[in-house]
């Protein structure tokens, strides 16, 4: 048995006297592709900060690659976790090229002049752009890319350091149908190529890639259910989490949900 890549045990996060998360336990194993789903304010982003070593828990333990947070230098561990979120778009200069943004992922940097890159690094950045469906986009500036193209550029960036885990915090936020489908297709391609374990955060079941193997449902800072995706997701679960009658369907590996009656959002 191999140790889990990420192991959160009874973690809680408290801020200014308010509990944002927990207690919650969760494990990510090699080869797994997770979706974390739940309503806004349910604790998903806080959980991702713990899993990506961006935050310490108020209580409980975080063990990543067999190393316990608080007892080791986490900087080498962070390089093994690729992180992308919609908020990262605002931190990157629009005049940077797609190749520069991707190659900066080698050091989790925001500017290319912070480090020195080889010709091989630049070539690999172009290869990763091609892998996410952006062939020939290396010299395009970030500002000229569509929202969907920017998110796929950030996905390529997360792969630059050859991580063991990808954490994608609501990468489809603000994307139109075409942008969402292109990103989901890119994630499926990464999974098919035996890529790293992935964690995809969303509150829309329509965003869930076919390659998803496991689901964690979270609401009110606590895990409602977790396990194989086909065992976790159900109409009853979504109805409970979102406080409305929901009908869930799955066709050709993709999910869809719709309300079936009056809603109660009080």
What's the token pair of residue 208?
């869930």
198 strand-pairing partners:
33, 166
Q: Which residue has the higher pLDDT, 264 or 184?
A: 184
Check pLDDT > 80 for residue 114: yes
User: Exposed, middle or buried, 124 (CB in 10 Å: 0-12/13-18/19+)?
Assistant: buried
| Structural domain boundaries in the chain | 1-79+202-266
**pTM of the complete model beyond 0.75:** yes
pLDDT in tens, 15-46: 888 999 989 999 999 999 999 999 988 899 89
Q: Which residue has the higher pLDDT, 171 or 229?
A: 229
pLDDT of residue 85: 80
Mean per-residue pLDDT of the chain:
91
Mean pLDDT in residue range 44-58: 91
Q: Cβ neighbours of residue 70 under 8 Å, at least 6 residues apart?
A: 56, 62
Q: Is the peptide bond before 23 cis (omega within 30 degrees of 0)?
A: yes
Distance of alpha carbon 220 from alpha carbon 43, whole angstroms:
7
Q: How far is CA 236 from CA 54, 197, 242, 249, in A?
A: 33, 28, 10, 12
Mean pLDDT in residue range 240-251: 92
pLDDT in tens, 185-212: 999 999 998 889 999 999 899 999 999 9
Mean pLDDT in residue range 132-136: 93
Buried b (16+ CB within 10 A) or exposed e, 221-235: bbbbbbeebeebbee
Mean pLDDT in residue range 147-154: 92
Distance of alpha carbon 121 from alpha carbon 160, whole angstroms:
9
84 strand-pairing partners:
168
pLDDT of residue 1: 59
Q: pLDDT-derived band of residue 266, with 50, 70 and 90 as boundaries?
A: very low
Beta strand pairing call for 33-37 and 197-202: parallel
User: Exposed, middle or buried, 101 (CB in 10 Å: 0-12/13-18/19+)?
Assistant: buried
pLDDT in tens, 64-107: 999 998 888 888 888 899 988 877 888 899 999 999 999 999 98
User: What does residue 228 show for φ and ψ, rounded to 5 degrees?
Assistant: -55, 140
Check pLDDT > 50 for residue 116: yes
Which CATH code is given to the segment(s) 1-79+202-266?
A: 3.40.50.300
Distance of alpha carbon 214 from alpha carbon 230, whole angstroms:
8
Buried b (16+ CB within 10 A) or exposed e, 19-57: bbbbbbebebbeebbbbbbbeeebbbbbbbbbbbbebeb
What's the token pair of residue 36?
């974390």
- Count CB-CB contacts under 10 A for residue 70: 10
Q: pLDDT-derived band of residue 247, with 50, 70 and 90 as boundaries?
A: very high
């Amino acid at each position: 048995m191999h140790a889990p890549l990420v192991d959160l045990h009874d973690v809680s996060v408290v801020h200014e006297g308010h509990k944002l998360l927990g207690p919650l336990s969760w494990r990510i194993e090699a080869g797994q592709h997770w979706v974390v789903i739940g309503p806004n304010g349910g604790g998903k982003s806080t959980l991702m900060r713990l899993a990506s070593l961006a935050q310490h828990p108020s209580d409980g333990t975080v063990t990543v690659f067999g190393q316990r947070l608080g007892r080791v230098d986490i900087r080498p561990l962070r390089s093994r976790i690729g992180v992308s979120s919609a908020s990262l778009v605002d931190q990157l200069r629009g005049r940077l090229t797609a190749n520069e943004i991707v190659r900066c992922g080698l050091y989790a940097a925001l500017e290319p002049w912070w480090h020195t890159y080889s010709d091989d690094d630049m070539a690999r950045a172009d290869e990763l752009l091609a892998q996410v469906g952006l062939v020939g986009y290396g010299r395009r500036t970030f500002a000229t890319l569509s929202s969907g193209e920017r998110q796929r550029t950030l996905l390529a960036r997360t792969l630059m350091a050859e991580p063991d885990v990808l954490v994608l915090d609501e990468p489809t936020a603000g994307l139109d149908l075409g942008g969402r489908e292109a990103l989901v297709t890119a994630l499926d391609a990464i999974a098919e190529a035996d890529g790293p374990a992935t964690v995809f955060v969303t509150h829309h079941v329509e965003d869930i890639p076919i390659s998803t193997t496991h689901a964690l449902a979270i609401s009110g800072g606590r895990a409602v259910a977790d396990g194989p995706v086909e065992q976790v997701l159900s109409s009853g679960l979504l109805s409970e989490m979102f406080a409305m009658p929901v009908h869930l369907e799955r066709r050709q590996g993709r999910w869809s949900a719709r309300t079936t009656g009056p809603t109660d959002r009080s």
